Amino acid sequence: MRNHWLIILVLGMIAGSAECAHAGNIDGAPRVRSDRFDVTYSVNASATPLQQVELWFRAPGDNDWTLFGYDEDLVSPVEYAAKQEGLHDLFFVITNSAGKSGPPPAPDTAPQFTVFVDYTPPIIQLQLARAFESAKGERAVRLEWSAMDLHLGARPIQIAYRHEGDVDWKIVKAQLPNTGLYEWTIPDDLSGNIRFRVMVTDRGGNTSVAESDIVKLNPSFNGNSQGIPPINVQNAPPIQTLDVPGANLSATEQHHLNQLIRRGQALGDKRDHAGAIEQYRKALAIEPHHPQALVNLGQSLLALGRYEESAKAFQSALDNAPKHPEALLGLADTFINNRQFDAAESKLLDLVASGRHDAATWLRLGDVAAYKGQAFAAHDFYTKVLKSPASRTSSFDPVAMAKARLAEMAVQRETKPDQVKREDE
């Protein structure tokens, strides 16, 4: 969708324009949610007829100005195409019979106007909406989400609810920080089937929402609810550690189970994945719900390209250990290989929400965004790789891979600018 933003510049042909008060300030600059928009200019009546109109721009991060182009018909407006998001400085040089309005802008030349361009909506996923009884014995709802964007402000989150069947949403809390967690004490007069909504708004005004399934709020818990201990948002828990099924096995069975898993891992290290699969299946015959055996089985099946089977193995592991990081990562890799990018993104965001912020996870999120044509989100994720803990092996170096992808994106912007665009909504 194309937005037409009206920018009026009254330019004297000799004196030039006044300095723009918005320069360098996102919060004070007009905002555009499109990569193409109209720049409208006007000149003094005595300056016509015009002979040439040049539009210069300075993209985010640039020091030098670049000539964008000429207004061929010498009639306002000029269509401007922003090849990246962020603050864009604009400057006109206009020529008539008396000469130019001034020289081309130099690095220290103040822009005549600055506009903030942001056309990529945030990414948001709602992981949890659950009623519980607080430590004070009050009814409460706990919401957990993951929201990401290149241009989020300090308080971009709004939470709202509505009764099933209602149209209008009622705001619970607005302008919340993006902590990923909020607990709300339920008013005494609120009960029934309720949906919750988490909305994130970036600094460009783009919004994304995630809605919960129905949450049934009883008038009171009557002592039958399962409480959730309060959590310090500033010190969120790490990835959940779950007890491994099989506690009822005998010592001999436990020993045999562990032996089979170790044999499978040794065979997998030698790339004998068929042999590894045989060992893991024997282990699962002893304990069908063993998460690590299921994850290892999924990884060997994935290595052999047996994606449908690997997905089932990883999902079985998650059924027993919902936040198992290797199972989430393995299932995401399976979806990526099957080109199911939305499903892969969902599992990777689950991984991030569970506390996994390592380079390998950000790299995969960057790849998924790139596959989906979301160049700016991909750039953000690849940049996160460079700032995150990385485990490097001889065959996998996420930092080097992220640097290579960022370099390739930079080349594409230079050589094929028309191909580096946001995927149409």
| pLDDT digits 0-9 by tens, 86-126 | 889 999 999 988 888 889 999 999 998 889 988 888 888 88
Over the chain, what is the mean pLDDT?
80
Residue 209: pLDDT band by 50, 70, 90 thresholds? very high
Looking at 5-59, which runs of residues are DSSP E strands? 10-11, 31-32, 36-39, 42-43, 50-58
Distances (CA, A) of 328 to 47, 94, 149, 177: 66, 58, 22, 27
Q: Determine if residue 378 is left, alpha or beta; phi over 0 gives left, psi from -120 to 50 gives alpha, anything else beta.
A: alpha
Helix (H, G, I), strand (E, B) or coil at 354: coil
H helix or E strand, kind and range, residue 269: helix 251-269
pTM of the model: 0.50
From 73-77, 169-173, 224-228, the region with the lowest mean pLDDT: 224-228
Q: Do residues 268 and 296 lie in contact, with contact meaning Cβ atoms separated by under 8 Å?
A: yes
Any idea what DSSP says for residue 45?
G
What contacts 26, CB < 8 A, 6 or more positions away? 87, 116, 151, 203
Helix (H, G, I), strand (E, B) or coil at 23: coil
H helices present in 169-250, as ranges: none
Supply the DSSP string of 175-190, one letter for each residue. Answer: EE-S-SEEEEEPPTT-
Question: Is residue 197 over pLDDT 90?
Answer: yes
From 5-14, 119-128, 132-141, 286-295, the region with the lowest mean pLDDT: 5-14
The length of the chain is: 425
Any idea what DSSP says for residue 167?
-
Domains present along the chain, CATH in parentheses: 10-117 (2.60.40.10), 123-235 (2.60.40.10), 251-419 (1.25.40.10)
Give me the mean pLDDT over the 54-77 stretch: 91
What contacts 332, CB < 8 A, 6 or more positions away? 344, 347, 348, 351, 364
H helix or E strand, kind and range, residue 278: helix 273-286
Environment class of 100 (CB within 10 Å of its CB; exposed 0-12, middle 13-18, buried 19+): middle
Give me the mean pLDDT over the 63-79 stretch: 92
H helix or E strand, kind and range, residue 326: helix 325-337
Distances (CA, A) of 412 to 180, 349, 375, 405: 34, 27, 11, 11
CA dihedral over 122, 127, 130, 133, signed as positive or negative: negative
Q: What is the structure's pLDDT at 412?
A: 67
H helix or E strand, kind and range, residue 114: strand 113-117
In angstroms, the CA 365 to CA 332 distance is 10
Residue 18: pLDDT band by 50, 70, 90 thresholds? very low
Give me the mean pLDDT over the 379-401 stretch: 75
Q: What is the structure's pLDDT at 67?
A: 96
Helix (H, G, I), strand (E, B) or coil at 339: coil
pLDDT, greater one: 205 or 417: 205
Distances (CA, A) of 312 to 183, 276, 291, 302: 34, 17, 12, 11
Quick one: how far is CA 284 from the chain centroid? 37
Q: What is the structure's pLDDT at 47?
A: 79
Question: Is residue 346 over pLDDT 80?
Answer: yes
Token couple for 339: 């080109």
In angstroms, the CA 219 to CA 227 distance is 16
Q: What is the structure's pLDDT at 416?
A: 54
Supply the DSSP string of 375-419, one letter for each residue. Answer: HHHHHHHHHHHHTS-----SS--HHHHHHHHHHHHHHHHHH-GGG
Gyration radius of the chain's alpha carbons: 28
